[in-house]
């Protein structure tokens, strides 16, 4: 049993601690720390600040921004950084050390430097880029090749996200009737679990055969999109055996995930257009080939038609000439026949004499007195008997 003169009650002890703390640190100090947790209650902002060295937490303390200061500080912070104060941020805050016998030590935040947060994020981003470059991962995806007409697509996104809905409508309801096969891998795309969720979906999609893997996230604040600057996620994208195409945020956003991906576009709708454009180009090329074939066929047909017409004209001309030549020959033969016709001679006073057998007599030597002969004249015949034969020498 200790002597009562050597004991002290808890309140007295903590009062001495309070006096010692507040005496030792009476002013305000600018402190660098990371927001480990954050909640808003009754207009007050309750924060847990921490410090990590080599992935090990080495310090942690409670802090608070009272309602009287929180509204103005949060508004100013959002205007400068583009996002609200959130878990995981590096911050530079002006604090006063307080100690309560009931709640222990806490820091009361009276000011915050948003430029420090912006700078810390940018510095971390540069370090990540340098590391990826050194490890040969920054351009690893660029060495892959995308099929000319990608059709089977793995989609990593939040199922209820507006960006995912825009992508699906624009891709599947296209006016050309092009058909795509898309498989959704539902993922958390913001917050503390986003990196592990997206990496898990990437690994699952990589185990199957797809023409491309897409990562879709609509617009958001810088802090909401900060997961896409994470080193672990960048490595997973770089090491994916399938081309990864990203559509994260708005036109102004550009993240490390975009840098390591095979290709990036600004918005989910633009991503749908990217896939559609390859089909439109192919369709136009086919139509162009069809036109060229049609024109070539038409030209060939016209050429053959011209040749046929020429052959037809040559055949016609040759036939007419042949017919005319044949007609001339016929006329000549006809003239010769007519000129050789005995009846023409008979009409001129000549006579044709034949023996009783009908054989024409060309000489008097073949006749004898008493032979019966036939005399053919132009206007008839006479049957005669030879009464005298006078053979002239």
Domains of the chain, start order: 4-117 (2.40.50.140), 135-279 (3.40.50.2300), 344-385 (no CATH)
Looking at the DSSP bridge assignments, the partners of residue 374 are 354, 383
What gap in Å lies between CA 306 and CA 301, rounded to an integer?
A: 8
What gap in Å lies between CA 193 and CA 205, rounded to an integer?
A: 18
Q: How is residue 157 annotated by DSSP?
A: E
Distance (Å) of CA 172 to CA 74, 81, 326: 42, 37, 77
User: DSSP for 219-256?
Assistant: ---TTTTGGGG-HHHHHHHHH-SS-EEEEES-TT---H
Neighbour-count burial of 388, counting CB atoms closer than 10 A to its CB (0-12 exposed, 13-18 middle, 19+ buried): exposed
Cα–chain-centroid distance for residue 68? 55
Distance (Å) of CA 8 to CA 3, 11, 13, 98, 315: 11, 8, 7, 22, 135
Which pLDDT score, from 0 to 100, does residue 329 have? 85
For 115-142, write each residue's pLDDT tens digit: 887 767 777 888 888 899 999 999 999 9
Which pLDDT score, from 0 to 100, does residue 194 have? 87
The whole-model pTM stands at 0.53
Contact 262, 244 (CB under 8 A): yes
**Inter-helix orientation angle 194-206/231-239, to 10°:** 10
Q: How is residue 153 annotated by DSSP?
A: E
3-state SS assignment for residue 60:
strand
Contact 187, 197 (CB under 8 A): yes
Structure tokens at 53: 């060295």
Contact 270, 166 (CB under 8 A): no
**Which residue ranges in the chain fall short of pLDDT 50?**
none
The closest alpha carbon to 361, from 337, 391, 325, belongs to 391
Distance (Å) of CA 86 to CA 48, 381, 382: 11, 146, 149
At which residue do the structure tokens 């947790």 appear? 37
Give strand ranges (E) for 235-355: 244-248, 263-265, 352-354
């Amino acid at each position: 049993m200790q002597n009562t003169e050597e004991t002290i009650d808890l309140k007295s002890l903590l009062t001495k601690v309070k006096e010692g703390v507040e005496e030792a640190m009476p002013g305000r100090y600018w402190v660098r720390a990371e927001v480990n947790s954050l909640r808003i209650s009754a207009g007050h902002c309750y924060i847990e600040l921490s410090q990590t060295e080599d992935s090990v937490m080495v310090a942690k303390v409670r802090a608070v921004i009272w309602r009287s200061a929180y509204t103005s500080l949060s508004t100013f912070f959002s205007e400068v950084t583009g996002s609200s104060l959130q878990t995981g941020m590096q911050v530079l805050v002006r604090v006063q050390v307080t100690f309560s016998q009931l709640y222990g030590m806490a820091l009361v935040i009276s000011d915050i430097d948003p430029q420090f947060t912006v700078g810390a994020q940018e510095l971390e981003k540069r370090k990540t880029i340098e590391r990826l470059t050194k490890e040969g991962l920054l351009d690893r995806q660029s060495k892959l090749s995308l099929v000319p007409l990608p059709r089977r697509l793995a989609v990593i996104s939040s199922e209820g996200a507006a960006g995912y809905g825009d992508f699906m409508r624009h891709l599947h309801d296209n006016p050309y009737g092009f058909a795509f096969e898309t498989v959704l891998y539902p993922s958390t795309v913001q917050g503390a679990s986003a990196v592990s969720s997206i990496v898990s979906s990437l690994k699952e999609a990589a185990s199957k055969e797809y023409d491309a893997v897409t990562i879709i996230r609509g617009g958001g604040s810088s802090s909401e999109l900060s997961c896409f600057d994470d080193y672990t996620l960048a490595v997973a994208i770089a090491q994916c055996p399938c081309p990864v195409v990203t559509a994260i945020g708005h036109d102004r956003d550009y993240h490390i995930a975009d840098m390591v991906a095979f290709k990036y576009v600004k918005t989910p709708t633009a991503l749908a257009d990217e896939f559609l454009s390859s089909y439109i180009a192919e369709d136009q090329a086919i139509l162009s080939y069809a036109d060229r074939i049609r024109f070539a066929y038409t030209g060939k047909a016209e050429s053959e038609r011209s040749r046929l017409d020429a052959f037809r004209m040559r055949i016609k001309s040759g036939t007419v000439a042949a017919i005319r030549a044949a007609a001339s020959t016929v006329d000549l033969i006809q003239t010769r026949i007519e000129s050789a016709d005995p009846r023409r001679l008979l009409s001129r006073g000549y006579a044709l004499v034949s023996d009783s057998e009908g054989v024409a007599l060309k000489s008097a030597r073949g006749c004898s007195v008493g032979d019966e002969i036939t005399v053919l004249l132009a206007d008839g015949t006479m049957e005669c008997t030879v009464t005298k034969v006078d053979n002239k020498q």
